[in-house]
Structure 1
Amino acid sequence: MRIQKNSLSGLALQKFKRNFWGVLSLCFIVICGCIAIFAYALAPDNSENANQMHLSIHSKSPGFTVQMLTIPQKQEEQSFFSQLFLGAKNLSTEIPIKNYKVEANSLVVQPYSELKTNGLVKTFSLDKFPNTENIESVVEKYITTKTFTLGTDKYGRDLLSRVLVGARISFFIGFVAVFISLIIGIFMGAIAGYYGGKIDAIIMWFINIAWSIPTLLLVIAITLALGKGYWQVFVAVGLTMWVEVARVVRGQVMGVKEQQYVTAARALGFTDFRIIFKHILPNVIAPLIVISAANFAAAILIESGLSFLGIGAQPPMPSWGAMIKDHYSYIILGKPYLALVPGIAIMSLVMAFMLVGNALRDALDVKS
C-alpha cells in the first residue's frame, strides 16, 4: 500500500487552488502587476507620465477618434530600458485637426474645434518636417488617425494611458508599505513577545500610542513632515501599518515560545536571535501572510485618499485617487466615466487583495 505524505505547505497550496475566487483574484493581481511594470509599453500615450495634452479635445467620450498632426522636435537620447520603464521624453507637439490640404510646398490644416464656425487655419512649410522629400510624404508620416479607447480627461490626455500608468502608484505602494510594516512590526512584536516584562510594556506603550491615532491623520502628518511626493507617501503609509503586524507577531510569539522545541533550543545554547528568527518566526508566518494581503488593500485605499486630498503623488504623475479628485464634479455633468473608471480600478484591485487574503486564511487554517 502506497502512503502519500504531504507537507503542511503542500496541503495549504492544494486548498488554495480549490478556491475559485482566490485563484481568479491572484491571477488578476499578477496581471495588474505586469501592467504596472510595462505600463509604457502598453499605453497608447507612452510619453513620460502619459502627459500629452490636447486641450481642444478635452473630456471626450470613449471611442473618440480624431486626426492628429505631429510636429517633430529634436528628441533627447534615451536608452531602451529608460523609455520602457520611465516613458519617452517626447518633445514633439501633437495637434488635433479637422481637415487638411496640400498647397505647393506647404501643409494647411484646420485645428479641431467644437465650434461650428471654422477656426484659425495654420500653415506649415516643408522644413518643419525633417527627413521628408515632399509634402505628400509629410501627410503619410506625420498625420495619423488616433482613437481614445476610454476617451480623454479634462486636459485632453488619453484616459486609458493615465489609468495604466497610474496603476504603478496604487500597486507598488502595497509592496513598499507592506515591506516597511513587516520589517518594523516583526522586529518589535518578536522582541516584545519573546522577552516580556518591562521590554514588552515599553513596546506595547508605543504600540498603543500609535494605535490610538487615526491612520489617515497620522499619514497626513508624516507626509507633511517628509514633504509631498511619490516615495514620501510610500514611507508614510508603511510607518502607520506596522502596529497591527507587531500586535499579531507579539501574540503568536508569546504562545510559541513555551513550546518544547524552543526550550530545547535554549538548552543547546542557541542565541536569542537564532531562536527568534530561526525557530519561532517560521512557525508564526501563516497569520502574517493573511494580514499582509489585507494591508496591501488598505495601503491602496490610503494612498488613493491622500491623492484625493492633494498630498499624495503630485501632478503630472498619474494616480487613480488624483484622477477621481480631478473629475468627481463631472459625475453630475453627464460624463461620470471620467471618475468611475479610476474608481472601478481601485475597487477591483482592493477586492482582489481581500479575496486572496480570505483564500489564504482558509487555506492556512489547520482546523478546516
Structure 2
Amino acid sequence: MANNTQSAKIWKKFKRNTFALVGLIFIILMVLVGVLGYLITPDQTPYANTQQLQISKEKPGSKFKFLIVQWYSNVEDVGFFEKMLYGQPAKFKSVPITSYKIVNDEVIAYEYIGEEKNLTPTVYKLRDLCRNCTLPSKLGSTAMLFERNNVYEQTFYLGTDIYGRDLLSRLILGIRVSLSVGLMAVLISMFIGVGLGAIAGYFGGKIDAGISWFMNVIWSLPSLLLVIAISFALGKGFWQIFIAVGLSTWVDVARLVRGQVMALKQVEFVEAAKALGFSNSRTIIKHILPNIAGPILVVGSANFASAILLETGLSFLGFGAQPPMPSWGTMIKEHYGYIIMDAAYLAMLPGLAIMLTVYAFNLIAIGLRDAFDVKGQNVSV
C-alpha cells in the first residue's frame, strides 16, 4: 500500500506539469502509430518502398490517378499481425496517368510525365491488363469493370520523395526505427551503467578507482565518434545501432548510480541488511537500487532523447539504418540539398519529427525530475 501511495503521489506531481503530460501523451501516440505501422500507412508495401519516379518531389496534397499495368502472380494476402509488422508485398505494378480510353480491345493511356502534357500514348492489350473484364457480366460493362479493377487514385498527403515514394508512409515507419533504437539503447545503457555504477559505489577502493578510470576514458570520447567507431567494428545494420548507441550512453547512468550508491550505503537500513547477513548483491538490488529509481528514470528519459539523436546522426552519415529501411536521419540525408530549393519540406518534415520527439522526451525527463524531487542531485536533462 505504501508503494501504491508513493506512486500515486509521484503521478500526481507529474500531472501538475502540463508540458510533461503533453510530452507523455505525444510519446504514447507515437508508440501507438509505430506499433500499428503498415496498418495505417497509405503505402503498405515492405518499407513503403513503392517507387514512382514520374511523380518524384510532388507537393503535399498531390493526387494522382494510377493504371495497373501488371499483376504479380503468387502474391497472397498476409495475416493481420504479419501485415502490421512487415507489410503486404505488392500485388501489382502501376503507372501514374493523366487519362485513358478503351478502344475495342486496347487501352490507350497517357502517362504522367510532369507539368508538360504527354502527347504520346502507351497502348496496352485489354486482356493483358484486366483480369475480370470478361463479358457478358452482371457487374457492368467492360469500361466499368476496367475502371473498378485497374484504375485507382491516391492522395499523397505529405508529398513524395526524390524516388516518388509516399513521404507520409516513410515518416510513420521511421517512428519504429527511432523508438526501437532509443528503447534498446536505453536498456543496454541501463544494464551496463547501473551494474558498474552500483559496484563502484558500493565496494569503493580499487574497484571504484578502476571502474571510475574506465568511465572517465569513455566520458572523454565524443559520443558520435565513439558510436561511429563501434559501428565500424560491428558493421552496418539495424541491430548494430542498438549496441553502438547503448555502449556510448551508459556512462551518464554509471556516474549517477555510483554517486547515489555511495551516499546510501552508509544509511541505517543498509547497515541493518549487512548485520542480518544479507549478501552484497541482495543489499544492492533489494535495498539500494529501489531507493534511487527516481534519478535513474530521469537520466533514462534523457538518454532516450540522446539515443534518438545519435541514431539519426548515424543514419545521416550512412552508418545507421540501411536503405530501403525508412529512417528519419536517412530521409534528411537524401533531401537536405532541397532545403534551398522548392522542396524544403522533404528534409524539414523528418527534421520536425526528430525535434518534436526529442523535445517530448526531454519534457518527460523534466517532469520526472520534479515529481521525484531530484533537483538538487547530479541529474542533467
TM-score w.r.t. the length of structure 1 is: 0.95
Structure-2 separation of matches of 1:54 and 1:357: 42
Q: 1:60 to 1:366 in 2, by over 3 A?
A: closer
Partner amino acid, structure 2, of 1:213? L
Gaps of 5+ in 2: 136-141, 377-381
Structure-2 separation of matches of 1:355 and 1:367: 14
**Residue range with higher mean Cα deviation, 112-121 or 313-322:** 112-121
Structure-2 separation of matches of 1:124 and 1:194: 79
Please point out which of 157, 160, 170 is paired with 1:152. 160
**Residue 117 of structure 1, CA deviation:** 4.2
Q: What residue is the counterpart of 2:125 in the other structure? A: 124
Q: What residue is the counterpart of 2:43 in the other structure? A: 45
Structure-1 separation of matches of 2:54 and 2:330: 22
**Residue 125 of structure 1, CA deviation:** 2.7
**Residue 334 of structure 1, CA deviation:** 1.3
1:43-192 pair list within 5 angstroms: 43-70=41-68, 71-77=70-76, 78-114=78-114, 115-133=116-134, 135-136=142-143, 137-192=145-200
**Residue 39 of structure 1, CA deviation:** 1.5
Please point out which of 348, 351, 363 is paired with 2:356. 348
Q: Is the 8 A contact 2:132 2:149 kept in 1?
A: no
Partner SS, residue 38 of structure 1? helix
Partner amino acid, structure 2, of 1:87? G
Partner SS, residue 284 of structure 1? helix
Query: C-alpha root-mean-square deviation of aligned residues, in Å?
Result: 1.7
Partner amino acid, structure 2, of 1:133? T
**Residue 140 of structure 1, CA deviation:** 1.3
Structure-1 separation of matches of 2:85 and 2:118: 43
Gaps of 5+ in 1: none
Alignment pair present for 1:212 and 2:211: no
Structure-1 separation of matches of 2:73 and 2:247: 44
Q: 1:6 to 1:55 in 2, by over 3 A?
A: closer
CA deviation profile, 1:76-99 (whole Å, cap 9, x unmatched):
343331111111121421210111
Partner SS, residue 50 of structure 2? coil
Query: Size of the alignment, in residue pairs?
Result: 365
Please point out which of 303, 322, 328 is paired with 1:295. 303
Please point out which of 322, 325, 343 is paired with 2:330. 322
**Residue 131 of structure 1, CA deviation:** 3.7
Structure-2 separation of matches of 1:75 and 1:360: 52
Q: Is the 8 A contact 1:245 1:291 kept in 2?
A: yes
Q: Is the 8 A contact 2:201 2:262 kept in 1?
A: yes
CA deviation profile, 1:102-149 (whole Å, cap 9, x unmatched):
122232211111223424423133233334425421221220111100
Please point out which of 6, 9, 12 is paired with 1:11. 9
Structure-1 separation of matches of 2:200 and 2:134: 76
Partner SS, residue 44 of structure 1? coil
**Residue 6 of structure 1, CA deviation:** 8.1
**Residue 5 of structure 1, CA deviation:** 11
Partner SS, residue 191 of structure 1? helix
Partner SS, residue 366 of structure 2? helix
Partner SS, residue 102 of structure 2? strand
Structure-2 separation of matches of 1:167 and 1:358: 23
Partner SS, residue 88 of structure 1? coil
Q: Is the 8 A contact 2:130 2:149 kept in 1?
A: no
Structure-2 separation of matches of 1:186 and 1:147: 49
Partner SS, residue 73 of structure 2? coil
Structure-2 separation of matches of 1:33 and 1:74: 35
Partner SS, residue 12 of structure 2? helix
Partner amino acid, structure 2, of 1:247? R
CA deviation profile, 1:284-336 (whole Å, cap 9, x unmatched):
11100100110011011111111111111000001011111111111111111
Partner SS, residue 317 of structure 1? coil
Query: Identity over aligned residues, as a percent?
Result: 48
**Residue range with higher mean Cα deviation, 357-366 or 274-283:** 357-366
Q: What residue is the counterpart of 2:229 in the other structure? A: 221
Q: Is the 8 A contact 2:110 2:118 kept in 1?
A: no
Partner amino acid, structure 2, of 1:284? I
Partner SS, residue 96 of structure 1? strand
Partner amino acid, structure 2, of 1:302? L
Q: What residue is the counterpart of 1:274 in the other structure? A: 282
Structure-1 separation of matches of 2:298 and 2:375: 16
Structure-2 separation of matches of 1:159 and 1:140: 26
Q: What residue is the counterpart of 1:339 in the other structure? A: 347
Partner amino acid, structure 1, of 2:248? T
Structure-1 separation of matches of 2:269 and 2:53: 69
**Residue 73 of structure 1, CA deviation:** 1.1
Q: 1:91 to 1:176 in 2, by over 3 A?
A: same
Partner amino acid, structure 2, of 1:81? F
Q: Is the 8 A contact 2:106 2:123 kept in 1?
A: no
Partner amino acid, structure 2, of 1:127? D
